[in-house]
Amino acid sequence: MTDVPHPNFDLEEQRVRIWRAIEEGEKFAAEQRKLTNEALKLGRDYRLAVWSFALSAVAAAGSVITVTIAALHAWR
């Protein structure tokens, strides 16, 4: 029989590489969850800022109307 060279399979090395890959995958997934949560928070903050601006504009318009009505009554 001819001697066929077999690759040297070190089972312990393979096991370590597999566990390292699993750990890296878990770290990647955790980082993705963190970034997703941050993006959701920023989206929520953006929506709250829009509502805050809208309510401020309504309050400012109400103030202008109130001052205008008061000035008209005082002018008569």
Residue 51's nearest CA partner among 39, 63, 59, 61 is: 59
- Asked if residue 56 is part of any domain, the answer here is yes
71: amino acid identity, one letter? A
- Asked if residue 1 is part of any domain, the answer here is no
Q: Domains in the chain: how many in total? A: 1
> Which pLDDT does position 73 carry in this prediction?
86
pLDDT digits (tens, 9 = 90+) for 38-54: 999 988 888 888 889 99
- Asked if residue 40 is part of any domain, the answer here is yes
Domain that holds residue 46: 26-76
- Asked if residue 41 is part of any domain, the answer here is yes
What gap in Å lies between CA 48 and CA 56, rounded to an integer? 12
Cα dihedral 40, 41, 44, 50 in deg (nearest 10): -120
What gap in Å lies between CA 24 and CA 30, rounded to an integer? 10
- Asked if residue 16 is part of any domain, the answer here is no
> Which pLDDT does position 27 carry in this prediction?
94
The model scores a pTM over 0.85? no
